[in-house]
Amino acid sequence: MAIGILALQGAFAEHAAMLDRLGAEHFEIRQRRDLDRGLDGLILPGGESTVMGKLLRDLDLFQPLRERIRSGLPVFGTCAGLILLAKEVEGGVPCFAAMDIRVKRNAYGRQLGSFSTTAEVAGLGPRPMTFIRAPYIVSAGPGTAVLAQVDGHIVAAQQEKLLVTAFHPELNDDPAIHRHFLDMIGA
């Protein structure tokens, strides 16, 4: 199993370190030819979603990744990655529009509004969560399972083989969310 990590900006190195801890093969996706490798799953890290969307198009990665996502490629999107997967984006334009969620960008405010907490994740128990200028999910469609909420806002969800978190599990020592993603791929 090989996991591609979009490495245009954001916390891609931290996702790689977490996958190393779990013994999962992975590689960085920086240009079109990186997609020539076998790809069993994809991680869309945090960063700035509008910049990432522009870079995806400028580097000719958008169309081939969108086709793979639509064909059922398992994807884990954190923070900006969540925004990239959403069908509806308040205050922004959808990118892949693959997941039946409506998100609010920068919902927790500026960098100073960043925070950490612990909350229950369905099937995984209480998990540490680090939010950095994070979005949250305003609403989820009927085929989307809500996995976690913080202060009444949806912060993690899953729709078939698409998993999203508004927080950054790669910034904590807890590998449970990444392990869940790997289990999704193997299922």
pLDDT tens for residues 71-82? 999 999 999 999
**Separation CA 184–CA 187 (nearest Å):** 5
Please pick, among 14, 79, 95, 180, the residue that the annotation labels catalytic.
79
Main-chain dihedrals φ then ψ at residue 88, nearest 5 degrees: -130, 135
- pTM (2 d.p.): 0.96
Please pick, among 15, 26, 168, 178, the residue that the annotation labels catalytic.
168
Pairing verdict, β 153-159 and 145-150 = antiparallel
Pairing verdict, β 115-121 and 125-131 = antiparallel
List, for residues 91-116, the tens digit of each pLDDT value.
889 999 999 999 998 776 655 568 89
- The DSSP element (H or E) to which 16 belongs, if any, is helix 12-21
pLDDT confidence tier of residue 41, bands split at 50, 70 and 90? very high
CA within 13 Å, CB half, 182: 18
Q: What is the DSSP string of 21-78?
A: HTT-EEEEE-SGGGGGS--SEEEE-SS-HHHHHHHHHHTT-HHHHHHHHHTT--EEEE
168 is catalytic: yes
25 is catalytic: no
Please pick, among 14, 15, 26, 170, the residue that the annotation labels catalytic.
170
